[in-house]
Structure 1
Amino acid sequence: MAARLKKDEEVWLAQPPSRAALPLLILAALLSSALLFYAIGDWRLVAGFAAMLLAIAALMRWYRNLYPPQGAEGEALPDWTVARAAADASNMAIAVTDRAGRLVCASDLFGEWFPGYPTPPGVTADGALSENLAHAARAAWRDGVAKVESVPHGAMRLDVDIGRTGRSEDYLLWRFTPMRQPSALDDVNRLLTGEAGRQMGEAGVMAVLIGGEGRIRAANGAFLLRAAGRIDANITGRDFASHMRVDDKGRLFLAREQTGGLPLRLLQVPLKRASQASASGGAQDGPMLLLLIDEPAGGGGTSALSYIETLLSLLPFGLAMADRDGRVLFLNNAFARAAGLRIGDKPSYPGDLVIREDQAAVADAVRRFAVGPQMSGDIAVRLRIQPDEPTALSLAGVRGLGEAAVLLSLKDNSEESKLKRQVAQATKMQAIGQLAGGVAHDFNNILTAIIGHCDLMLMRHTPGDSDYDDIQQIKSNSNRAAGLTRQLLAFSRQQTLRPQVLQLPDIVADVSNLLKRLLGESVRLEVSHGRNLGAVRADPGQLEQVIVNLAVNARDAMPEGGTLNIQTYAVPAHKVREMRQEILPAANYTALRVSDTGLGIPPDILSKVFEPFFTTKELGKGTGLGLSTVYGIVKQSGGYIFAESELGRGASFVIYLPVYQGADIEQTKAQAPARRSDTWGTGTVLLVEDEDMVRAVAERALARQGYKVLTANDGEQGLEVLGGEERIDLLISDVVMPNMDGPTMVAQARRAHPDLPVLFMSGYAEEQLRKSIDIANVAFLPKPFSVSQLAEAARDALAMRPAAE
């Protein structure tokens, strides 16, 4: 249909004064002259005034006639022809309406989709839908843009985008875009041209994808070779029927095989959805997958069915066949995996795979597709193995395969569900980790004050005093609480690690004696080490804690006794690639496996073992932080941990630590600085800490060591003290403070005091802080700390001053 342009025929144009207005002008001039004569009494002046008025009017009329205003001969309206040409170049229907709601321009495609060029929003007979479009149009006039999604229009669904346009934004631009409907065409196309198409050809199956018009869209190599003579032949777009012939007995052959060819059996698999098929009058009008198989001698549907079963068993997606009564005739391994069946098991009916509430719907769908016209469609079902997650079950009616009447397809979404669970787990662990890190940071401030005051009191008491044992008990409990905060920080990957380059067998050997005492008499410990193990970089104390936690859990899983096996072995990069592990990157690793022969872990619990506070032990016998601490230490060390288990056969935890490519172990140990025992010092120390209790105990501890201590509550006060007359020898500062934090204060202080030694103290991990603090030559002291640890850290930080001082 030719494009249709609609314009306003009535355009407002400024017109020159008409002849009817001339007498009025003369009358106005006379009245003005009379008033002037009455005022001054000089008729000559009045006559000159009247003549001047008439001359001005004549000049204005002459100018209007000589230069008419724009629009007098035709206003410069928008060139809708250019707009229509641009609209026709797109794949969407476009219309333009003005403020009066009139259609001023429309593309050819708009006329094809909406015959008669109706004016939006009245493009549909559905009153509710028209009202919805009208509401969107009002929103577009108000907000500039609006959108209505999935508007039904015949067999299509359209997305309607509405926006204001024009130089003065006095037009509405309507864009109707067809929604892309999910289709199996792309999947089938990739199937035929890929490895699966080659395997079908090797099984003797020719496969062709044709469109609704009967032209070939794709074919596998077997069909190309027999129909065109070459496996690389290009027959896309050709009529499928031209490659076939039918003899006088109604048997189907390839046209190229004139003599000696075998008759073929044709299986049609419609690829159009049921809703589309109903709209077009039947699935046979849409795209189809055609499967051609050589008819064996003697014919018979049973032989053809065996061919089809062989074909379906090769396909990578789950397929099954059922008869007209709904009984399952065949299913491939992919279908069994998707349905949660063991390989080789076959249900009697498809409804046996779903929950009770969905069985009637499945049985009714199979019956409709078996006895009705050839069509396909999807229904949402809930499988027994996943009652909370709907799954799409696709059905298609098939003919000519003997007893087989319905083809069923079930997508194996186990990997997708697994990934969803992993993402949810990672998000939950991250949120809880942030909470745990914040709680541990605040608790470390409290423990720092408690432990510090205990140390100060112990300096005034000697063993045997009545209060000495009580103070020691308070300090011991505080250290236990500090261990709990370290667990929380380990889980949240925010603890301070002291990594070293080491060998895993050395760590296992160091902790073996402790393990033998922990495991008891009923559990036997076996240790084995592989060859050519690469060195790893980790905190040896934290690795020992990892091994102890895993060993204790293994002991509790073997109440009747058993064997705990600890193995170390090398895992080169090519072995990692063979494992096809999605989470583990391909690299060289040294692995640590801790296995037991206990009860095993149920599958529903295996995915939760690393969650914090999750435990299967009795009340009071487990905190639920053991494995979450292990997980945090391994991840913070750059490694990976996986849990494997089978009920009744024990469990295994495998840790992969990347091989360290840096310096030699002995060289690293040789470079470690020697520790000094003398903690007495002199000089002026500026202590910046926002927590009063921590600042008080640190001030007293430093003063007892011989330092002169100046204090500040935050970074701003610290800069004021630094700017005073007092010379500062050492700056000790908390990291996280209100108003101005420690790193910001130090960065500004270093401008005036570039060689000032700095000691940061914080309850967060040193590794995390060093990533965010871009300041060189600073020391770090983790909280909670004792008085002696603070004194040693201050002494070592002062030793960082240049030798010139």
Structure 2
Amino acid sequence: MRLNEKRLRDFAEAGSDWLFEFDRELRFSFVSGQLRQVIGIAPEYLLGRSFDDFTKRNRLASEAHLFRENKAKMMAHENWKDFTFTFVRDDGEHRKVRTSGKAFNDENGEFAGYRGNGRDITDQVNMESRLKSLIQIVETSLNEIYMFEADTLKFIHVNFGSRKNMGYSYAEFLELTPIDIKPDMTLDAFNRIVEPLRNGIEQRLIFETVHQRKDGSTYPVEVHLQLVHSGEGLAFVAVIQDITVLHNQTEALSLRDLAIAEVDTGILITDAREDDNPIVYANKAMEQMTGYTMQEMLGQNPRFLQGDDRDQPGLERIRSAIRNSVPARETLRNYRKDGSQLTVEVSISPVRDEKGNVSHFIGAQSDVTDKLHTEERLRQSQKMEAIGQLTGGIAHDFNNLLTVILGNCELLFDRVRGDKYAENLLTEAIGATETGASLTKQLLSFARQSPLQPKVLNLNNLVEDLSDMLIRSLGETIEITKKLASDLGNTLADPSQTKSALLNLVINARDAMPEGGRLTIETKNMVFAEAEATRSYGIEPGKYVRLTVSDNGVGMPANIKSRVMEPFFTTKVQDKGTGLGLSMVHGFAKQSGGHLDICSELGHGTSVNLYLPMTDASEDECAITNDERNTDIGGNRTVLVVEDDARVRKIAVARLEKLAYQVVEAESGQQALDILAKRNDIDVVFTDMIMPSGMTGAELLVQVQDLYPQIMQLITSGYAEDGGIPNAGTLWLRKPYSLAEMSKVFRQLLA
């Protein structure tokens, strides 16, 4: 008997409920130890005391009637079940208690008291209250939230905000479809809009339209639409933003039940009635965006997402909006659980209860990191376009100057032949002019305004051909290593630009090793799949050859590496760098259909990779011939030179006369036409492409072709572009040109 009694007491003490027993006078004869946690009093204190004594001073006056009703049952010796009341502890804490009691008799069949159990249900009641409050928040939100069937488009739920804003009753809405409230949209048009959701191409659609209220008034809205699985099948969930009232605020959204859980905009709900406005709800999108689970976010203020970065200007505006209970939208820096940064657009809206008091705030958060990166790339592209236009104009004038300098030097050369000192001076001047022309060509390639002259070449051969020059450029303190793939494929690229690119990369590597070091040149075949090529490099998928120049120099920090391909950006001291080297190599790579990337770490050196498309064609054979300066090929031929720049025109005339041509001059297209109308001995019209007098060289040649088809045509320009030439067979002489090049083109023209 004692053993059974001990077992029963052990069971009583081990359970989560507390057990009690009353005698026939309704006094406590047994109480289990769990009651101490509820009332904060030792159970022994209650033994011998009546239930009324136990609760009289610890109950709410508003619940007195409940105790009277339950006491009447006990006096009648009736069983009672789930008697729920509030127990006020001596420390002031309120605990919600639920009890049940069963009457028992003695061995004579007489009423002997009650045995029963009690349970602390405080946490359960609080949770139910919060859940009910959350549902009420969504239902009473002033944002419009709709759910309608995917096939019939019939509304199946509309929240209070929808009914209030539109003027329809709930029953009236159930007879409508979205088409009925969109006066500018037909059923076919709506079906076309939602088709990407139905076939799974898109997970969410955002579009603007117009809504019409019951009274006929209209207002512009932004619609956020998703297809979700409801309890009865597929349904569309639409969250509507009045962009007139909210001034284009984005995504201050709330959804009811499944809608809130499934929408891919991050949603937070905070309780404005609690200290520090704690988070009481976060949807799946918020979890995915931040890396935190909802449980980890609950109870925290949203400011924890900013980490230590709490001095952002937008944050103070958000705080001010919360203090004043008004909507707000800002762009903020947030931090994921793993510490990575993201940029978000945050919209907040207050939610008011039936008394007009702010009870909660709803926040909608969108990750705009990629959007901002795209905008930055667009700004960079526009900057490059502006630089390209500037470069093209400068190159035109510069090439005209080089033409004059080169021409005069060549003409003067014959006058001083035999004078070694003068010949050396002129040779240096001619070499400098050719270097200037090469620089101009590189600038135009960088600006993508110069058409390349691609040839089939092998990068291994190019590296070997330049080895001696590279060794001289590097000096004795730098060791050079070559790792050239034996099976390297060919590429189609401009040899001159490729050589310049390699030299640029080598010089940069040398400058990164002021105390000497090791430089490695490596070639390799590469194959890029479609996803990798597009995502990582912005190039077409396929086969490429890679040229890598690596050094073990000082390396670069991330903030420098991200800018090294910007035009005019340089880390070198004044007068030691232009900031164009890597920019020009990058421009050449892109113009050739390839890519340039950089791997570098501060203190651990740098590797620059140049990717060029592979070709199956064989390497071009480039025959080297001596320049021939035939000074007597003109015969009786007459050339009309059309050039607006007097200095360029003068040198062109002098060169042609040296080649024994008869020459006539014109400074504009109209003057040239006037001369042609008076003379019938013109064999060739040699015209500049760009002339500011109103008629371009191309326009002049159109009229020459129509009026004088027997006259040969030759065009020249300091610009790189040859677009606009009326006849595809028209020969082209690019400035600056040498006497030998002029002679060769005229022989070809008149052959």
Secondary structure of 2:685's counterpart equals strand
Please give the alpha-carbon distance, in whole angstroms, between the structure 1 residues aligned to 2:632 and 2:480. Answer: 48
1:720 matched to which residue of 2? 674
- Relative to structure 1, is the Cα distance of residues 572 and 480 closer, same or farther in structure 2, using a 3 angstrom cutoff? closer
Partner of 1:179: 220
Aligned partners of 1:557, 1:420: CA distance in 2, in Å?
A: 32
Matched AA of 1:696:
K
CA drift of 1:444 comes to: 1.4
1:449-479 residue CA offsets vs partner (Å, 9 max, x unmatched): 1221222222211343776555555545544
Q: Which residue of 1 aligns with 2:689?
A: 735
Q: 1:675 to 1:484 in 2, by over 3 A?
A: closer
Residue of structure 2 equivalent to 1:194: none
- SS of the aligned residue for 1:493 comes to coil
Q: Give 1:396 deviation, angstroms.
A: 10
Output one character per residue of 1:36-89: Cα deviation in whole Å (capped at 9) or x when no partner. xxxxxxxxxxxxxxxxxxxxxxxxxxxxxxxxxxxxxxxxxxxxxxxxxxxxxx
Tell me the distance in 2 between the aligned counterparts of 1:772 and 1:778.
11
What is aligned with 1:122?
none
2:508 match: 553
Aligned to 2:745: 793
2:742 is paired with a residue of what secondary structure? helix
Tell me the secondary structure at the aligned position of residue 580 of structure 1.
helix
C-alpha contact (below 8 Å) 2:519/2:550 kept by paired residues: yes
Contact kept? 1:685, 1:707, Cα under 8 Å: yes
Q: Contact 1:687–1:731 at 8 Å: present in 2 too? A: yes
Percent identical: 32
Task: Give the match for residue 374 of structure 2.
Answer: 419
2:88 match: none
2:733 alignment partner in structure 1: 781
Q: Structure 1's 368 and 745: CA in aligned 2 closer, same or farther, altered over 3 A?
A: closer
Secondary structure, counterpart of 2:716 in structure 1: strand
Asked if structure 1 preserves the Cα contact closer than 8 Å seen for 2:483 and 2:521, the reply is yes
Counterpart Cα distance in 2 of 1:631 and 1:789: 30
Task: Give the 5 Å matches for 1:580-595.
Answer: 580-581=535-536, 583-595=538-550
Question: What's the CA shift for 1:572?
Answer: 2.8
Structure 2 CA distance, aligned partners of 1:316 and 1:383? Answer: 13
Report the alpha carbon displacement of residue 577 of structure 1 after superposing the two structures with TM.
Answer: 3.8
Within a 5 Å distance, the mapping from 1:339-358 to structure 2 comes to 350=306, 352-355=308-311, 357=313
Amino acid across the alignment from 1:178:
Y
- Does the CA contact (< 8 Å) of 2:328 and 2:347 recur in 1? yes
C-alpha displacement at 1:546, in angstroms? 0.5
1:626 corresponds to: 581
283, 288, 292: which is aligned to 1:315? 288
| Cα gap change, 1:462 to 1:384, in 2 (>3 Å) | farther
Q: Is the 8 A contact 1:351 1:362 kept in 2?
A: no
Deviation at 1:505, TM superposition (A): 1.9
Q: Which amino acid aligns with 2:614?
A: V
Amino acid at match of 1:453: N
1:411-433 C-alpha deviation (Å, 9 max, x unpaired):
44332222212111111011011
1:289 matches 2:260: yes
Q: Which amino acid aligns with 1:659?
A: M
Give ranges in structure 1 of 5+ residues lacking alignment: 1-108, 116-156, 162-173, 191-216, 220-226, 228-232, 239-269, 277-281, 292-307, 329-346, 370-375, 399-404, 800-805
Equivalent position of 1:144 in the other structure: none
Change (3 A) 1:360 1:366: same
Task: Give the Å deviation of 1:315.
Answer: 3.3
User: Among residues 414, 417, 427, which one is paired with 1:462 in the alignment?
Assistant: 417
**Separation in structure 2 between the aligned mates of residue 785 and residue 759 of structure 1, nearest angstrom:** 13
**What CA deviation, in whole Å up to 9, does each residue of 1:759-802 have, x standing for no partner?**
2211111xx31x43241322222212233332333223323xxx
Deviations 1:479-500 (A, max 9, x none): 4444443343232223464321
- Counterpart among 327, 342, 345 of residue 392 in structure 1: 345
Distance 1:684 1:368, change over 3 A: closer
Distance in 2, matches of 1:323 and 1:415, equals 25
Say if 2:549 and 2:609, in contact at 8 Å, map to a contact too.
yes
Report what 1:644 is aligned to: 599
| Paired AA for residue 218 in structure 1 | H
Classify the secondary structure of the residue corresponding to 1:315: helix
Paired residue type of 1:722 = L
Query: Partners of 1:575 and 1:531 in 2: how far apart?
Result: 26
Q: CA deviation at 1:693?
A: 0.6
Q: TM-score, normalised by structure 2?
A: 0.57
SS of structure 2 residue aligned to 1:436: helix
**Which structure 2 segments of 5+ residues have no match?**
1-162, 170-207, 247-252, 263-280, 352-359
> Is the counterpart of residue 443 in structure 1 residue 391 in structure 2?
no
Matched AA of 1:355: D
CA distance in 1, matches of 2:701, 2:289: 62
Of residues 356-365 and 605-614 in structure 1, the stretch that sits farther from structure 2 once superposed is 356-365
Provide the rounded CA distance (Å) in 1 between the counterparts of 2:461 and 2:256. Answer: 73
Q: Could you tell me how far apart the structure 2 residues matched to 1:237 and 1:519 are?
A: 67
Superimposed CA distance per residue, residues 580-625 of structure 1 (whole angstroms, 9 cap, x where no aligned partner): 3362222332232323333333333333322322211001111222
Partner of 1:251: none
Structure 1 position 715, deviation (Å): 2.0
SS in structure 1 at match of 2:529: helix
**Does 2:649 align with 1:695?**
yes
Alpha carbons of structure 1 residues 499 and 237: separation in structure 2 relative to 1, 3 Å: closer
Paired residue secondary structure (1:571)? strand
Q: How far apart are the structure 2 equivalents of 1:180 and 1:620?
A: 57
1:469, 1:532 → 2: CA distance?
Answer: 44
1:316-341 alpha-carbon deviations (Å, 9 max, x no partner) = 6665656676368xxxxxxxxxxxxx
Does the 8 Å CA contact 2:399/2:437 hold for their aligned counterparts? yes
Aligned length, in residue pairs: 506
Instruction: Tell me the residue number matched to 1:522.
Output: 477
| Whole-angstrom distance in 2 between the partners of 1:482 and 1:588 | 33
Partner SS state of residue 665, structure 2: strand
Decide whether the 8 Å contact of 2:345 with 2:368 is kept in 1.
Answer: no
Query: Aligned-residue CA RMSD in angstroms?
Result: 4.7
Q: Secondary structure at the match of 2:737?
A: coil
Shift of 1:553: 0.8
Matched, 1:430 2:374: no
* 1:320/1:407 contact within 8 Å kept: no
CA contact (8 A) 2:639 2:685 kept: yes
CA contact (8 A) 1:351 1:360 kept: no
2:330 maps to amino acid: A
**Does the CA contact (< 8 Å) of 1:312 and 1:319 recur in 2?**
no
Judged with a 3 Å threshold, the aligned counterparts in structure 2 of structure 1 residues 797 and 287 are, in CA distance, closer, same or farther, namely same
Give the distance between the partners of 1:556 and 1:397, measured in 2 at CA. 59
1:113 CA drift (Å): 5.8
> Do the aligned partners of 1:355 and 1:383 also contact (CA within 8 Å) in 2?
no
TM-superposed CA distance for 1:541, in Å, is: 1.5
3-state DSSP of counterpart to 1:180: strand
Contact 2:537 2:595 in 1 (8 A): no
Query: What TM-score do the two structures reach when normalised by structure 1?
Result: 0.54
Inter-partner Cα distance in structure 2 for 1:457 and 1:639: 44
**Code of the aligned partner of 2:401:** I
